[in-house]
Structure 1
Amino acid sequence: MKPHLLLAGLLALLLTACGKPEPIRIGFIGGLSDRTNDTGEAARNALMLAIEQRNATGGIDGRPLEMLVADDGQEASLARKAMSALIAGQPAAIVGPYTSAVAEAILPQADQAGIVLLSPVITSMQFVGKDDMLIRLNRSTRDNAGDYAQQLIGRGISRLAVALDVRNRAFSASWLDELRASYPALGGEILTVVEFHSAASTSFSDIADQLLDAAPGGLLFIANAVDVARLAQQVRKRSTDVPLAAVEWASTEQLLELGGRAVEGLLVAQSHNRDDPGARFTAFREAYKARFGREPGYTAIATQDAAIVLFDALARQSRALPLKRAIIEGGPYPGLQQDIRFDRFGDSTRKIHFAEIRNGAFVLVP
């Protein structure tokens, strides 16, 4: 598979020859061809919309923004090739990646090239507190696992079986490590952990059997939306009442569309409030729906926040101020639902919102 790139070099030369200002190139890297590509497509769409809106108001200092798009294929070797192609396009910064496994693969390239990676969603602890070219707009797996532990114990779920996708091990292993620290501290017990490699051929019926053989009080899925939907369907063939939960990675519209009745009652965290009536969020939501014909998912919303940060920092950046410093020192930034601030390492945090799936929709719960 070849990375899909908008080749900007020739266009830049033509624009310069016509006396027009050279565009500022913004890279994007995400999963666009994998079977779980809804998160990548939503993120790409959000950045495309943000660039269109910024260009409609004059760009940045009169320079238009131009988007370079690369498909990471959700696989390390493909991601590194995609990253190399992006770097060759000389972007001012790259928005992405969207999984910790891809971040692990491409961050050394970003560090070597001195190009900022602005990741809207990754959470793995291996990226926290590091002085590198990665800027994170999300919380950490430690934050999320601790909040899940409280939710599960608060619901009377003190015996847990866990299914874990090792294809994105940088995320899933970090999440499990943090759960093993927080859940038992509150009186919970992890009875069994069933690992699997996400693929179309994965036998989710066997995984469901292994999970339920432990006689748990609840199940937790550390996996993407497609796999959570398939797991839930197999579990519900065997048990109609065992409580289900999934980590925030699964919190996309695909979970609702593919899970159907099997995911009713499932608990999942979200990085945004879908019912927020605030003006900034409402304006973005309506613009996204008008442009793409569907609701923005969590990666779209987080990507819009990343665009807000990036465009503001680019507008303030001077030749003497590297972009990473401009981003870190520039906040707070007015995100869609909260102000965004960074520590000295470029780490941020977000509020968390828990929801249950009821009647085919995410419904916020206390």
Structure 2
Amino acid sequence: MWSPVPQVGFDCTLAFEEDSSVRTQAIDQAAATVRRRLSVIAIGVATVLLLGAGWGSRGRDTQPIRIGLAGGLTGSQSFLGQAQQEGVMLAVDQINAKGGIAGRRIDVVSEDDQFDPSRAAAIAQRLISQDHVDAIIAGTNTGTALVYAKACEAAKVPLIVSFASDNRITQGKQWTFAVDTGVKEDMQAVVAFAKQHFQRVAVTYDDDAYGQAARDFTLAELKSLNMTPLAVVAMPDGSLDYGPQIARLQSTGAQIVVAGDGGSNVAQMAKNMVQVGYEPLVMGPASLAFVSMIDIGGAAVEHKVWFTDSIDSSNPAFVTFAKAFGAKYHQNPQTGFEPLAYDSMGILAKAIKQAGGVDKSAVQQALTNIHYAGASGKAGTEISFPAATHRRPGAGINWRWVTNGKFENVPANLLANPTALAGKP
């Protein structure tokens, strides 16, 4: 039986709108899918770029920290540059073996300035402008250290000077820090010791910029203590016969000679003194602690030449350092230069860690506030950089001498009563 089909009105407009709505939803869904996929691709690309730029999966910078290292590796005093290189690289090896600083290894860019200030100027610019180092350790003598300081101050790059001791290097500086005591602090310690134990004091100095600075600091300190030197004698650099100068010293009857000289010249002076039977105690700054003093002076310098130094054989940190140094280089550190360089890198690493990275201003501020118990210096003292000097305070000074052909601590009983060694006037 036929049943009529109900009449249903067909609205073309509604059908078109419904169809358009469906299409619009489909298009929107497709667009959203494309956007999600593009976002995923963008994130992936960004991740690859960040990884390539040195960022790890946790958002941490893993690029190597670049440290410039410059000193005199060749020339007559190349042992200074070699000592700096050995001390710094020992510290770098130890830091990298423990994962670096916050996961970032240290890379060192090393340069030989040959103790030449003009060469040092070119090296400083290359390290700063081309190698883009994060900080610099440099300056194995006064002339080059002054050049590096000038360049780093201008570029606002942190500079650590391991052992150049002229106080002008850090004077008035903001970005330059010296790990060793200055010649001013050294001579203050020498003069204070002379004042405490001796009555008759004479002064010698190398006739160069460093020696003249040592002389001026010595005379100023003597004056502040109401002491007048019996003689002030210039010592020509590199002479093999200091007879005329020694004759003048001997005529005064000085018990102690305060020597603002280098180790080689003092060694030759000591030999000439023995030849004429005049053997006062000779005391001076760390510049006497050159291995050449032992090589040239031999028995003449044994027990008769005392100097301030940054090695203290009783310092546990130095003992640990010396063992590691011997294991790496198959020799013992001979002077204070190696541990000073080692501490230079240790201090810089601590400052970078405290700064949370290599932002130069943050590292500079961390260095300004640093307190570091290092392998160099007297046991129980810390390295810091007072705002007025940016140089290690004189409290880290220790007294050393030559005994059995080696540098060692002066025994405590002789520090208390050194007059027995101030012999033959």
TM-score, normalisation: structure 1: 0.83
* 1:143 alignment partner, one of 185, 188, 202: 185
Q: 1:171-186 residue pairs with structure 2 within 5 A?
A: 171-184=210-223, 185-186=225-226
Q: Distance in 2 between matches of 1:154 and 1:320?
A: 45
Task: Note if contact 1:45-1:300 (Cα within 8 Å) is conserved in structure 2.
Answer: yes
SS at 2:218 equivalent: helix
Q: Distance in 2 between matches of 1:101 and 1:190?
A: 31
* CA offset digits 1:268-303 (Å, max 9, x no partner): 111231233x2x322211000111122222011112
Q: Distance in 1 between matches of 2:391 and 2:259?
A: 26
CA gap 1:18/1:316 in 2 versus in 1, 3 angstroms: closer
- Gaps of at least 5 residues in structure 1 are 1-14
* CA offset digits 1:24-70 (Å, max 9, x no partner): 11111222212122222112101011111111111122222111222
Structure with more of its chain in strand, by fraction:
1
Task: Note if contact 1:120-1:137 (Cα within 8 Å) is conserved in structure 2.
Answer: yes
* 2:400 alignment partner, one of 317, 342, 355: 355
SS at 1:132 equivalent: coil
Q: Residue 231 of structure 1: CA displacement?
A: 3.2
CA gap 1:73/1:238 in 2 versus in 1, 3 angstroms: farther
Q: Residue 190 of structure 1: CA displacement?
A: 4.7
SS at 2:104 equivalent: coil
Show the counterpart of 2:15. none
Show the counterpart of 2:368. 328
SS at 1:183 equivalent: helix
Largest Rg, 1 or 2: 2
Task: Note if contact 2:138-2:148 (Cα within 8 Å) is conserved in structure 1.
Answer: no
Show the counterpart of 2:382. 339
Q: Distance in 2 between matches of 1:18 and 1:306?
A: 26
* CA offset digits 1:244-266 (Å, max 9, x no partner): 23321122444223321121221
Q: 1:1-366 residue pairs with structure 2 within 5 A?
A: 21-87=62-128, 88-156=130-198, 158-166=200-208, 169=209, 171-184=210-223, 185-196=225-236, 198=237, 202-205=238-241, 207-214=242-249, 215-216=251-252, 217=254, 218-264=256-302, 265-276=304-315, 278=316, 280-296=317-333, 297-318=335-356, 319=359, 321-329=361-369, 331-336=370-375, 337=379, 338-344=381-387, 346-349=390-393, 350-361=395-406, 362-365=408-411, 366=415
- Gaps of at least 5 residues in structure 2 are 1-50, 57-61, 416-425
Task: Note if contact 1:354-1:364 (Cα within 8 Å) is conserved in structure 2.
Answer: yes
Q: Residue 94 of structure 1: CA displacement?
A: 1.0
Q: Distance in 1 between matches of 2:282 and 2:289?
A: 13
Task: Note if contact 1:70-1:83 (Cα within 8 Å) is conserved in structure 2.
Answer: no
Letter in 2 for 1:299: F
Task: Note if contact 2:202-2:257 (Cα within 8 Å) is conserved in structure 1.
Answer: yes
Letter in 1 for 2:368: I
Q: Distance in 2 between matches of 1:165 and 1:89?
A: 38
SS at 2:396 equivalent: coil
TM-score, normalisation: structure 2: 0.72
CA gap 1:258/1:123 in 2 versus in 1, 3 angstroms: same
Task: Note if contact 2:65-2:105 (Cα within 8 Å) is conserved in structure 1.
Answer: yes
* CA offset digits 1:172-200 (Å, max 9, x no partner): 3222111101224343415132153x4xx
Task: Note if contact 1:38-1:254 (Cα within 8 Å) is conserved in structure 2.
Answer: no
Show the counterpart of 1:9. none
Letter in 2 for 1:172: G
Q: Residue 328 of structure 1: CA displacement?
A: 1.4
Q: Distance in 1 between matches of 2:261 and 2:281?
A: 16
Q: Distance in 2 between matches of 1:320 and 1:86?
A: 15
Q: Residue 322 of structure 1: CA displacement?
A: 2.9
How many residues are treated as equivalent by the alignment?
341
Q: Distance in 1 between matches of 2:392 and 2:409?
A: 26
Aligned-pair RMSD on alpha carbons? 2.7
Letter in 2 for 1:158: R
CA gap 1:86/1:31 in 2 versus in 1, 3 angstroms: same
